[in-house]
Chain A
């Protein structure tokens, strides 16, 4: 079984601070993430979810431990931040296609695919709009399309819908699943919403705080393709109840 996407072995992260002393943000994190898996990381705020995701995305270095990527350390990754961080001087299409500019990808194929993604996300009519003209949900859509634009096999998302209202969030959850089913990427998704984690994931990683550790990994055995109606099933309710119990 060499179908893994990445593995972590004994990851630790300590933040040193003269004033507040040392913070153990992550302690002994061992993970096996499979290709094409949808994984959620959930836990109380401050338990190290962002730190873990940043380390997986090579935006930060662990204090000790190692990460093995199936496709090597230099593999492409997409990252969706909590704030959409769109560049305010670029319009929707330019923002979404920004990675292609950085990667000097001028092929018609990639740009056509970008337009398809924009279409799929309901952004076709806003291609020429500037970020300041968009709602929060729209901005986050653009930032997701941007992360998808260069077709990285792995997508890391840090509470991408955390700042949105419940209705927009449910809507974007469905869209994200559609995209995931189409593109078959590995998605690692940080959230603090139990319902969101259950609805989206194959597995939910529950973390506890101080020090940030993995408390339990819960497999979500709900039917794929998931529809909105899955939220009303008993099984769904059981999972959320169970998770609420562990998180406490």
Chain B
């Protein structure tokens, strides 16, 4: 059991490593043969050195820290807000009828187009960034909760009534647990959105954050810096996504979508 699992992980990593190596090989061949200038496409080695440099000089930390901070705060508020709002919509018909048109409108509107408006309303500091992130996180979480609560079998609710369970017990023992699989699908979409939101918000305003590094690299034609920054962003995205995935897998062992160990 154990060895087959280790082998599986190893193969997974190997597949990744091979496809990335091939990609880098083609990239470096192309740069060498075509001789494109560095500000258009630098060599992989140059980007790699820049990437390492970001960490060894310590230059990246305040920016990375700021972006992580925004993601954590924005994601946190978005999750709590999404759960609360989703629960109200799922449970109270009036709220659903009243809010649904707005929810659909705001959900389909490209949030990024709203950034200038957020800047006008909330200034160029942290608040407008957090507002953008929250607006991008809240809807996937909300739909997750609504779908989850709708997925509860009618007879499971009847069981709670036969047992004379109170509202809190129904919430704790039935609604939360049944919503978890859908909620985690929402969380996974939400965390990706949160990282995108943070980067975009930093593009628009301010002088700190990974998004700022990208605009700075762009404005100064420092393409190695730009690409190294993109790699840090991608890694941040993957790490945060995988953390949610890992927590989800721990909590949802019972779910039919998870293989029995």
Give the interface of A toward B (CB within 8 A). 54, 57-59, 77-79, 81-83, 85, 87-90, 98-99, 101-103, 130, 132-133, 150
Contact A132 B156, beta carbon cutoff 8 Å: no
> Which of chain A's residues has its CB closest to B252's CB?
A89
Contact B256 A132, beta carbon cutoff 8 Å: yes
Contact B162 A133, beta carbon cutoff 8 Å: no
Total contacting residues, chain B, CB less than 8 A: 19
Closest 6 CB pairs of A and B: A89-B254, A81-B155, A79-B162, A85-B155, A102-B163, A102-B165
Q: A57-B162, A88-B256, A103-B163 are in contact. List 8 more A-B contacts (CB 8 A).
A: A78-B162, A81-B159, A87-B173, A87-B177, A89-B255, A101-B173, A102-B173, A132-B260
> Which of chain A's residues has its CB closest to B165's CB?
A102
CB of A128, distance to nearest CB on chain B (Å): 12
Contact B162 A59, beta carbon cutoff 8 Å: yes
CB of A188, distance to nearest CB on chain B (Å): 13
> Which of chain B's residues has its CB closest to A100's CB?
B163
B37: CB under 8 A from chain A?
no
Give the interface of B toward A (CB within 8 A). 153, 155-156, 158-165, 169, 173-174, 177, 254-256, 260
Set of chain B residues within 8 Å of A83, measured between Cβ atoms:
153, 155
Set of chain B residues within 8 Å of A57, measured between Cβ atoms:
162
Given contacts A83-B153, A132-B260, contact A102 B161 (CB under 8 A): no
CB of A183, distance to nearest CB on chain B (Å): 18
Q: How far is the CA of A82 from the CA of B153 in the complex (A)?
A: 12
Contact A102 B156, beta carbon cutoff 8 Å: no
CB of B158, distance to nearest CB on chain A (Å): 5
Q: How far is the CA of A88 from the CA of B153 in the complex (A)?
A: 12
Q: How far is the CA of A79 from the CA of B163 in the complex (A)?
A: 9
Set of chain A residues within 8 Å of B173, measured between Cβ atoms:
87, 98, 101-102
Instruction: Name the contact of B158 in the complex, choosing from A81, A90, A103 (C-beta under 8 A).
Output: A81
CB of B161, distance to nearest CB on chain A (Å): 6
Instruction: Name the contact of A85 in the complex, choosing from B153, B161, B177, B254 (C-beta under 8 A).
Output: B153
CB of A61, distance to nearest CB on chain B (Å): 12
Q: How far is the CA of A78 from the CA of B256 in the complex (A)?
A: 27
Set of chain A residues within 8 Å of B255, measured between Cβ atoms:
88-89
CB of A18, distance to nearest CB on chain B (Å): 17
Q: How far is the CA of A132 from the CA of B260 in the complex (A)?
A: 9
Q: How far is the CA of A57 from the CA of B164 in the complex (A)?
A: 12
